[in-house]
Amino acid sequence: VYRSRSSFKLLSLSKTHPSILNPSTTRSVVDLGAAPGGWCQVASNLLKKGRGKVWAVDILGMEPIPGVEFIKGDFLSEEVRDSLKARVQESQLGQQRVEDGAGEVGFRGIDTVLSDMMAPMTGIRIRDIGISLQLCTAATIFARDVLRKAKGGEEVRKEGGKKVYPGGNLVMKFFAHPDLDEFRKLELDPWFGKVVVEKPKESRSESSEAYWVCLGFKGDPDDLR
């Protein structure tokens, strides 16, 4: 039993884009704005067979979910973001030390960052747009910092008829508006192999929300030139 209607949106997104939550390749997922925990349930269920782990953050509290490490706090606070990053890195370093023996120890990077964050709508459009931009900016800066980068020479693969872009992924809710389109063009498109807008049918058609599915993190476009 899922804790939220949102769960079906993530299920539908991951059906369309299987690399977001792939039991055989996804090992680490960060879920921003996670309460009451529907997306965490979907992610941890899909990754159960693999060795995936989920880290989740929300201002609100959340009942525990097996395989999910939860941090209660405001993601707009630097302290909360730093603590999340530290925990994720620590856990990955520990894991790699064991796997690699004396080999190289490094931060592999997060496979998928999810953000369903949104503050309650005020109905004052300019304010709702502003909040969405603020949350998307924070999630994007964080994702750029922690996502696994495609390695040079890694090619787009085909799996079950679908393209799999090398590098980590970001799935993020946004408020549909030209300012947000501009954000996508400048801040997302150049950093990822592919960015698509999805409006899952489970999302109410009258609401202005939609999701960006950003596949195949490439890193800083300035470094690639």
Residue 221: asked if its preceding bond is cis (omega within 30°), the reply is no
**How is 46-72 classified by DSSP, letter by letter?**
HHTTTT-EEEEEESS-----TTEEEEE
Residue of 28, 116, 129, 211 interacting with ligand SAM (CB under 6 A): 116
Q: Does 212 bind ligand SAM (CB under 6 A)?
A: no
Part of the chain binding ligand SAM (CB under 6 A), chosen from 27-35, 48-56, 187-195, 210-218 = 27-35
Part of the chain binding ligand SAM (CB under 6 A), chosen from 55-63, 155-163, 183-191, 198-206 = 55-63
Q: Give the nearer residue to ligand SAM in terms of CB position, either 121 or 194.
A: 121
Q: Where in 57-76 is the site for ligand SAM (CB under 6 A)?
A: 57-60, 74-76
Kindly determine how many residues on this chain lie close enough to bind ligand SAM according to the rule CB under 6 A: 22
Q: Give the nearer residue to ligand SAM in terms of CB position, either 142 or 183.
A: 142
Vertex 175, ends 170 and 178: CA angle to 5°? 100
Q: Does 117 bind ligand SAM (CB under 6 A)?
A: yes
Q: Does 142 bind ligand SAM (CB under 6 A)?
A: no
Q: Does 121 bind ligand SAM (CB under 6 A)?
A: no
Report how far apart, in Å, the C-alpha atoms of 91 and of each of 19, 52, 70, 122, 191 are: 22, 12, 14, 38, 26
Q: Does 22 bind ligand SAM (CB under 6 A)?
A: no
Half-sphere exposure of 212 (CA within 13 A, CB side): 32
Task: Give the integer Cα–Cα distance in Å for 67 and 56.
Answer: 10
Q: Does 159 bind ligand SAM (CB under 6 A)?
A: no
**Taking a C-beta distance cutoff of 8 angstroms, is the pair 33, 118 a contact?**
yes
Task: Give the integer Cα–Cα distance in Å for 46 and 28.
Answer: 12
CB of 200: closest distance to ligand SAM in angstroms?
Answer: 12
Strands 53-58 and 68-72: parallel
Tokens (6 digits) for 106: 């490094």
Catalytic status, residue 173 = yes
Q: Does 39 bind ligand SAM (CB under 6 A)?
A: yes
Q: Does 210 bind ligand SAM (CB under 6 A)?
A: no
Identified catalytic residue from 9, 53, 149, 173? 173
Amino acid at 215: L
Just list the catalytic residues: 173
Query: Which positions lie near ligand SAM, rule CB under 6 A?
Result: 3-4, 6-7, 33-39, 57-60, 74-76, 116-119
